[in-house]
Amino acid sequence: MYTSLVYKTDRPWPNDRLKRAAIVGHVDANRARLWLRTGNPGRFVLLAYAADNDPDDSLFQSFRTVPYPDLGSLPDDVGRIPVDIENYDHDATTVVDIERLEPDTEYRYALWGLDGDIPRILLGQDQIYRFRTWPEGVAPLSFAFYSCHMPYTCSLFGNTNIEGMEIWDAMNEVMERHQVQDFRYLIAGGDQVYADGVDTLNIWKYLNSVMRREDNTLHPSRDEMLSYYRDIYRGYWGFPALRKVYSRFPTYMIWDDHELGDGWGSYRLNAQQPAEDELDRIFPRRDEKGLNRDDALELMARMRSAAEQVYREYQHSHNPETPPEELDYVIPYPGAATYVLDGRSQRDINRKSYRILGKAQFNRFAAWLEVVDPAQTPFVFVVSTVPVLHMSPVLVNADDSVLTEWSSLQDDLRDAWEHKLHDMERRALLKALFAAAARGVRIAILSGDVHVSAAFRMTDQATGATIFQLTSSALTYNKPRLLGWLLGNTVPDEGDSDDGYHFERLALYTQANFGLLRVDPQQGQAVYQLYGVQQVDHPDPGTPGRPVTHAIAKIELQF
């Protein structure tokens, strides 16, 4: 495979790429799903045990022994689950479900295997890997959410640099502090990687450089493209601070455009109207490479297919189980359920209706929401990677000629729920949400994508029902924030939306951030807390400072 990145050593990653790693995925009161990347095929054993069974950390300390003694010498209360990786078909990743766990209990885990010919602990020997199960029944909870992890910049001389990773340490400290009380999980709300980030790492730019026809065969192949996306994940997820978070806190994920390519699904593709066709924005070197329009569409389809496979391997596989053709899912926490919408795989502005979610997914969500009983589930959170309310419709629906100097934003604006292309679907979504709110369900929409954090209260003046739009973005995004400037300067503090709902902006923050929700379903209380990057310098100049982990803003969600 001529263009594969599997063995390519000159990719300019400034950090070590992920080799072996673990992610705590879906957890409930009695089960936990763990994602593992072993780094190579082989036979491994996952070890799991209740933390209370190792009060002095002696078992954890023993994990550093190399070679590691026979597993038969482990205490009887240490679970042993065989893990076999036969090949690289899924990039040496797998998912393991641990059953028959106790509620509200901390468990620790480690991975045993061979390092060459030496038996040793491969994961869990350098730091404690752990997770906590949910309590049984309705109980208070805290959970965090973020979006847009893009910690790279390019220097004037084309070097790839790292910026913004300190916020991962801050997020870890905040979650650790709340773990003592009621922290339950983290939601990664889209753009966990950037296939098209900085130019030095952009796989779409790489594709444009290597695409070709050779002996009447179109290159690169889908298999080669799999290596592109896997390389992106391993680079973006190679940071120790990120791996520490993922290995300790249940993390639910959903993709957005940058897991595929910028603005995916929001480009105009219309061969009959060349003035509107945007295919050459995706493939600017098509003519130079002697490829026709069908060639470009085929390459685009291959990239789409490869991106979804790798998304499933690295992200969706550790979410709650879904039917094979679906990527939306429910986090079924008692009393405070979250419905995670898939706003990307079905997105197509060239379709005639339901261009964001697709009709089937919209109907699934509407049917689920319609039967939510507020007595059993007083809170519902809805993850929509792109905010439902955030930008001025005047700007979103401006003619492209008005936005000539901001042409790179045109697909972003068509991505917005407020764009006129999505009027019918947006109104149907809001109608379903406000109908549930009128029945007493307390609803908040959680979003990312727009590189600005904000909080809006939306009210249906006919019924008095209220829902909230909460946005956390971006975590480590370092590109200039023109879109943030537009958002901050085009949306008034208060007014009426085009759909007739009254809105009030409660907060706006344009720097790196993440959000945290504290919810007490029994008391009917919820508080949104916003965190950014703050640091207190140590009085000793030679000692590093510490992140300040107090909230920038606290907003009580009054429904």
Strands 453-459 and 466-471, sheet pairing: antiparallel
**93-143 pLDDT, tens digit each:** 999 999 999 999 999 999 999 888 899 999 999 999 999 999 999 999 999
Query: Which residues touch 308 (CB under 8 Å, ≥6 apart)?
Result: 260, 345
pLDDT at 122: 98
State the average pLDDT over residues 285-313.
Answer: 97
Give tens-digit pLDDT for 38-93: 999 999 999 999 999 888 989 999 999 999 988 988 999 999 999 999 999 999 99
Residue with tokens 């995670």: 340
Instruction: Give me the pLDDT at residue 533, please.
Output: 84
Q: Which of 85, 131, 126 is nearest to 109 (CA)?
A: 131
What would the pLDDT profile of 251-281 be if each residue is shown by its tens digit?
A: 999 999 999 999 999 999 987 887 788 999 9
- Mean pLDDT on 155-173: 93
Tell me what pLDDT residue 510 has. Answer: 85
Burial 56-69 (b: 16+ CB within 10 A, else e): eeebbeebeeeebe
Judged by phi (left if over 0) then psi (alpha if -120 to 50, else beta), residue 267 lies in: beta
Q: Which domains does the chain have, with CATH numbers?
A: 21-28+134-556 (3.60.21.70), 29-133 (2.60.40.10)
Strands 160-162 and 502-509: unpaired
**% of the chain exceeding 90 in pLDDT:** 78
179, pLDDT greater than 70: yes
pLDDT, greater one: 172 or 535? 172
Band (pLDDT 50/70/90 cuts) for residue 524 is very high
- Predicted local distance difference test score (pLDDT) of residue 324: 95
Structure tokens at 450: 């727009």
Non-local (6+) Cβ contacts of 315 within 8 A are 188, 192, 253, 254, 255, 259
pLDDT at 552: 92
The confidence score (pLDDT) of residue 405 equals 46
Whether the Cβ atoms of residue 185 and residue 194 lie closer than 8 Å to each other? no
pLDDT at 391: 60
Dihedral sign for Cα 304, 307, 312, 315, please: negative
Which is more confidently placed, 57 or 403?
57
pTM: 0.95
pLDDT band at 403 (very low <50, low <70, confident <90, very high): very low
Question: The tokens of 182 are what?
Answer: 């009621």
Return the higher-pLDDT residue of 334 and 548: 334
The SS3 assignment for 271 reads coil
Answer yes or no: is pLDDT of 464 > 50.
Answer: yes
CA-CA-CA-CA dihedral for 14, 226, 270, 194, to nearest 10: -30
Give the mean model confidence (pLDDT) for residues 213-236: 97
Determine the Cα angle at 273 with ends 271 and 279, to 5°.
50
